[in-house]
Amino acid sequence: MSDANKLEAQARDRVGKGAARELRRNAMVPAVIYGDKKPPLGIALSHKEVTMRVHGGGFMTNILSIDVDGETHQVLPKDYQLHPVTDQVMHVDLLRVSRRTVVTVEIPVNFINEDTCPGLKAGGVLNVVRHTVEVNVPATSIPEGFEIDLEPFNVGDSINISAVDLPEDVEPTITDRDFTIATIATPAALRSESDDADDEAEEGAEEAAGDDDAGGDE
């Protein structure tokens, strides 16, 4: 594991709102390590280190190695609370993990080859329905992201989960359908032109029908 995913922490001997406020005044963030059939462990983390990881991206999908007074814990962040005004990290929940641990996480979706996508080159618009995909995966094998190649897709196409090359041990939490991740939508301007053409065709047909009716009356 890289040093970037290693953190040092202190065990907390006191819990409660008062103790948490005192930690925050001392530039620390209260946190708890739980799971793996072991009792919860209250810890304090560096506010600077936690803030960098939370706002740096990928915090919820990276295994962390937490050194608590010389004892190492492998954990996966499961939740964190931010101050509603300042966005400062107020608390972090950490799940103990091992090779046997299967977790549910949201994996970001990345799109490539937008410049060679036939649908986008024809004026279509990439409409992203899901920016992340929720999956069940071993905690030690969490993908950084899913990559979707846009080169095969045209205007009007749907890009479903079946277009993603999933690792063998990764399973979407939705299993009853081939759900949509994105579509190549027709731009509004082209839709408007198409609608106008349809309206003109309908008006022309109505006028022709009216002329036929008039001729019949004579």
Residue 8 domain-assigned (yes or no)? yes
Residue 37 sits in a domain whose CATH number is 2.40.240.10
Cα gap 93→44, rounded to integer Å: 11
- Please state, for a pLDDT cut of 70, what percent of the chain lies above it: 84
Q: For residue 81, how far is the Cα from the chain centroid?
A: 18
**Nearest 5°: CA angle at 62, between 56 and 66?**
100
- pLDDT tens string 41-94: 999 999 999 999 998 888 999 999 999 988 999 999 999 999 899 888 999 999
Mean pLDDT in residue range 121-147: 94
Residue 202 domain-assigned (yes or no)? no
DSSP H or E stretch at residue 128: strand 125-128
pLDDT value of position 1? 46
Task: Specify the number of domains making up the chain.
Answer: 2
Cα gap 8→134, rounded to integer Å: 30
- Are 91 and 107 members of one domain? no
In terms of residue numbers, what domain contains 128? 103-186
- Are 7 and 90 members of one domain? yes
Predicted TM-score (pTM) above 0.85: no
Residue 209 domain-assigned (yes or no)? no
Residue 194 domain-assigned (yes or no)? no
Query: Among 97, 113, 128, which residue terminates a domain?
Result: 97
Length of the chain: 218
- Are 87 and 108 members of one domain? no
Residue 215 domain-assigned (yes or no)? no
Q: For residue 162, how far is the Cα from the chain centroid?
A: 17
- Split at pLDDT 50, 70, 90, the class of 126 is very high
- Please state, for a pLDDT cut of 90, what percent of the chain lies above it: 61
Cα gap 136→151, rounded to integer Å: 28
pLDDT value of position 197? 47
pLDDT value of position 218? 43
- Split at pLDDT 50, 70, 90, the class of 212 is low
When the pLDDT of each residue in the chain is averaged and rounded to a whole number, the result is 85
- Are 75 and 109 members of one domain? no
- Are 9 and 87 members of one domain? yes
At 33, list the tokens. Answer: 């390590």
- Are 178 and 108 members of one domain? yes
**Single-letter amino acid, residue 158:** S
Cα gap 45→78, rounded to integer Å: 15
pLDDT value of position 55? 87
- Are 108 and 83 members of one domain? no
- Are 9 and 86 members of one domain? yes
- Are 57 and 140 members of one domain? no
Residue 132 domain-assigned (yes or no)? yes
**Nearest 5°: CA angle at 56, between 50 and 62?**
75
